[in-house]
Chains A and B, each alone.
Chain A
Amino acid sequence: MLELRDISYEVEDDREHREILKNINLTIDDHFVAITGPNGGGKSTLAKLIAGIITPTSGQIFLDGREITNLNITERAKAGISYAFQQPVHFKGLTVKDLITLAAGYSVNVSEICDILSEVGLCAREYIDREINNSLSGGELKRIEIAMVIARGTTLSIFDEPEAGIDLWSFNSLIHVFEKMRKEINGMILIISHQERILNVADKIVLIKDGEVSAMGTKEEVLPMLLNGSGTCKTLIDKTI
């Protein structure tokens, strides 16, 4: 179970004081939770706070009853949190095998790498020795990013907009990856997404808007609110429905 208590995050931006997240209280104990909401609403900030990449201005974070607020990134990773970046990082010289090995935390053999990569639709023979650089497409890098999270197999897996920056063909197979993960993976999956097809897979949807939790519930409860929000123009709503 992941619990956020009164989490706030404030920054000084060009001498302007901004509240990115305001008193977030959130308990997640469902298997597959999607966080959605408008751009700039604070979703990625929340993911980074959970992974320990940034520190909240105030509030506490608990994982399975243990307070992790003061743990750094490494300690949180070891405590059972994995985080797939929205924009995968390039590494000159490090290969797919190197990163999967580091993620797994032990020397994985070829057949284990093959198992992990096949989960995200990649053939180990073709990818195992490829460098993590721009010779790989956006979709391939995203899948490798997801494969690293699968290799870790932690209590909590966070995915920050897995659909961002990939082409339509890659997106279709990405959906299958998450559908499969939903069925097979133990532990909690927290996925930040704008995609209705991903939201449809979720047990619970959290809507974050202007730095606050503006709604939370099943997809039947939350999806209509997304389409009928005050900021959405009528033509768009009509066309979507």
Chain B
Amino acid sequence: MDKIEKNLLEQVADLHEVPAGAYNIRSNGKLAKRNTTANIDIVTKEDKQGIDIIIKPGTKNESVHIPVILSESGYQDLVYNDFYIGEDCDVTIIAGCGIHNCGVDTSKHDGIHTFYVKKNARVRYVEKHYGEGDGRGENVMNPTTVVHLDENAVLEMETTQIKGIDSTNRITRGTLKEGASLEVKEKIMTHGSQYARTEFEVDLNGENCSANVISRSVARDDSKQEFFSRINGNAACAGHSECDAIIMDHSQVTASPQLTANHVDASLIHEAAIGKIAGEQLIKLMTLGLTEEEAEQQIISGFLK
């Protein structure tokens, strides 16, 4: 693995070396390294690109890293990864994609991740998207995450895109059975003329299931962001979505929440706020001795922390 690839791995998976536990590192469309454990199996799909990650029931405190890196300019990748999480598991899955594009062609990674989470299992899913490269070629990522939660299953998803992705269409869908819980935290920052679209759709089908979607974003320069969320309450359930955006320079942000209650005991809430950094926040930090630029930097990094 060369320096560029090592840096990408560090950015998307906080990996400095080979991780502990199960992992599958995909580099420019090929398997670079894989490790399985007694409880976590990783199998290459035979009918299409991608892998199946199978986690035995009752597996606790184990993790799986599945980073993808693209360092050949113009490489276009479409991958299907399916996760089968057994009953009563408690695991962490760290995905992420890093692109280094120093050429003129568009590099693209479309990852479709589907989670089948069995009863009472608990999953923390972390994904980071990062791009770099001094070429004129665009970095494009379109991650799709589909989550099926059985009774009392819990999935917490943290998704972050801070730098270097020119265009992204991020789709997350979920179906929840009784007592299941889905929590999604998204952080996005766009620069230049980047475009980011986020789409959430969650069906709350089981009694006492709940979904909480929190999106925090910063749009700078001439970038454009769109946020669409649809929460469908089909039972006695609780749904909450929150879209909070800081708009700067000449950027544009759209927030379009939709709540549908198909059951009298569905309790659904949406909060959306778009605005520039409040002047009083800048002034407060300046009275502590920060310059206006330093204050802005602190406010943004805190907001996206």
Query: Is residue A83 within 8 Å, beta carbon to beta carbon, of the partner chain?
Result: yes
Q: Which of B216, B292, B302, B304 has a CB less than 8 Å from the CB of A91? A: B302
Query: Is residue A123 within 8 Å, beta carbon to beta carbon, of the partner chain?
Result: no
Task: Report the minimal beta-carbon distance from A149 to chain B, rounded to whole angstroms.
Answer: 9
Q: Which of B216, B278, B292, B303 has a CB less than 8 Å from the CB of A89? A: B278
Inside 8 A of B281's CB, which chain A residues have their CB? 89, 91
Query: In whole angstroms, how far apart are the Cα atoms of A55 and B302 in the complex?
Result: 30
Contact yes or no, A77 B288, CB < 8 A:
yes
Interface SS majority for chain A: mixed
Q: Which chain A residues have a beta carbon within 8 Å of chain B's beta carbons?
A: 51, 53, 72-74, 77-78, 81-83, 85, 89, 91-95, 98-99, 102-103, 105, 148, 152
Kindly report which residue of chain B lies nearest to residue A151, judged by CB atoms. B288
For the complex of A and B, the 6 pairs showing the least CB-CB separation, nearest first, are A93-B302, A94-B302, A73-B286, A77-B289, A89-B284, A93-B303
Contact yes or no, B285 A102, CB < 8 A:
yes
Q: A89-B278, A92-B244, A94-B298 are in contact. Are A102 and B288 (CB under 8 A)?
A: yes
Q: Mark B276-301, 1 if CB is under 8 A from A, else 0.
A: 00101101111111111000001101
Inside 8 A of A148's CB, which chain B residues have their CB? 288
Kindly report which residue of chain A lies nearest to residue B292, judged by CB atoms. A74
Contact yes or no, A91 B291, CB < 8 A:
no
Inside 8 A of A102's CB, which chain B residues have their CB? 285, 288-290, 298
Query: In whole angstroms, how far apart are the Cα atoms of A139 and B281 in the complex?
Result: 19
Inside 8 A of B298's CB, which chain A residues have their CB? 94, 98, 102
14 residue pairs of the A-B complex, CB under 8 angstroms, read A51-B287, A72-B286, A74-B286, A77-B286, A83-B287, A89-B278, A93-B305, A94-B298, A94-B299, A94-B302, A98-B298, A102-B290, A102-B298, A105-B288
Contact yes or no, B299 A91, CB < 8 A:
yes
Q: Which of B287, B302, B303, B304 has a CB less than 8 Å from the CB of A82? A: B287
Most buried by B among A51, A77, A93: A93
Task: Report the minimal beta-carbon distance from B162 to chain A, rounded to whole angstroms.
Answer: 14
Q: Mark B82-111, 1 if CB is under 8 A from A, else 0.
A: 000000000000000000000000000000
Task: Report the minimal beta-carbon distance from A71 to chain B, rounded to whole angstroms.
Answer: 12
Contact yes or no, A73 B302, CB < 8 A:
no
Query: In whole angstroms, how far apart are the Cα atoms of A60 and B301 in the complex?
Result: 37
Query: In whole angstroms, how far apart are the Cα atoms of A213 and B61 in the complex?
Result: 68
Inside 8 A of B216's CB, which chain A residues have their CB? 92-93
Query: In whole angstroms, how far apart are the Cα atoms of A173 and B303 in the complex?
Result: 32
Q: Which of A73, A93, A98, A105 has a CB less than 8 Å from the CB of B287? A: A73
Q: A89-B280, A89-B281, A89-B284 are in contact. Are A105 and B302 (CB under 8 A)?
A: no
Q: A91-B299, A93-B303 are in contact. Are A105 and B284 (CB under 8 A)?
A: no
Inside 8 A of B284's CB, which chain A residues have their CB? 85, 89
Query: In whole angstroms, how far apart are the Cα atoms of A116 and B92 in the complex?
Result: 38
Task: Report the minimal beta-carbon distance from B187 to chain A, rounded to whole angstroms.
Answer: 10
Inside 8 A of A89's CB, which chain B residues have their CB? 278, 280-281, 283-284
Kindly report which residue of chain B lies nearest to residue A92, judged by CB atoms. B303
Q: Which of A53, A91, A93 has a CB less than 8 Å from the CB of B283? A: A53
Inside 8 A of B278's CB, which chain A residues have their CB? 89
Task: Report the minimal beta-carbon distance from A45 to chain B, rounded to whole angstroms.
Answer: 15
Contact yes or no, A77 B303, CB < 8 A:
no
Task: Report the minimal beta-carbon distance from A158 to chain B, rounded to whole angstroms.
Answer: 9
Inside 8 A of B283's CB, which chain A residues have their CB? 53, 73, 89
Most buried by A among B281, B285, B305: B285
- A-facing residues in B245-279 (Cβ within 8 Å): 278
Kindly report which residue of chain B lies nearest to residue A82, judged by CB atoms. B287
Task: Report the minimal beta-carbon distance from A69 to chain B, rounded to whole angstroms.
Answer: 17
Query: In whole angstroms, how far apart are the Cα atoms of A102 and B278 in the complex?
Result: 18
Query: In whole angstroms, how far apart are the Cα atoms of A74 and B287 in the complex?
Result: 6
Inside 8 A of A73's CB, which chain B residues have their CB? 283, 286-287
Contact yes or no, A105 B289, CB < 8 A:
yes
Kindly report which residue of chain B lies nearest to residue A148, judged by CB atoms. B288
Query: In whole angstroms, how far apart are the Cα atoms of A51 and B285 in the complex?
Result: 12
Task: Report the minimal beta-carbon distance from A129 to chain B, rounded to whole angstroms.
Answer: 11
Inside 8 A of A81's CB, which chain B residues have their CB? 287
Q: A89-B278, A89-B281 are in contact. Are A152 and B302 (CB under 8 A)?
A: no
Inside 8 A of A93's CB, which chain B residues have their CB? 216, 301-305
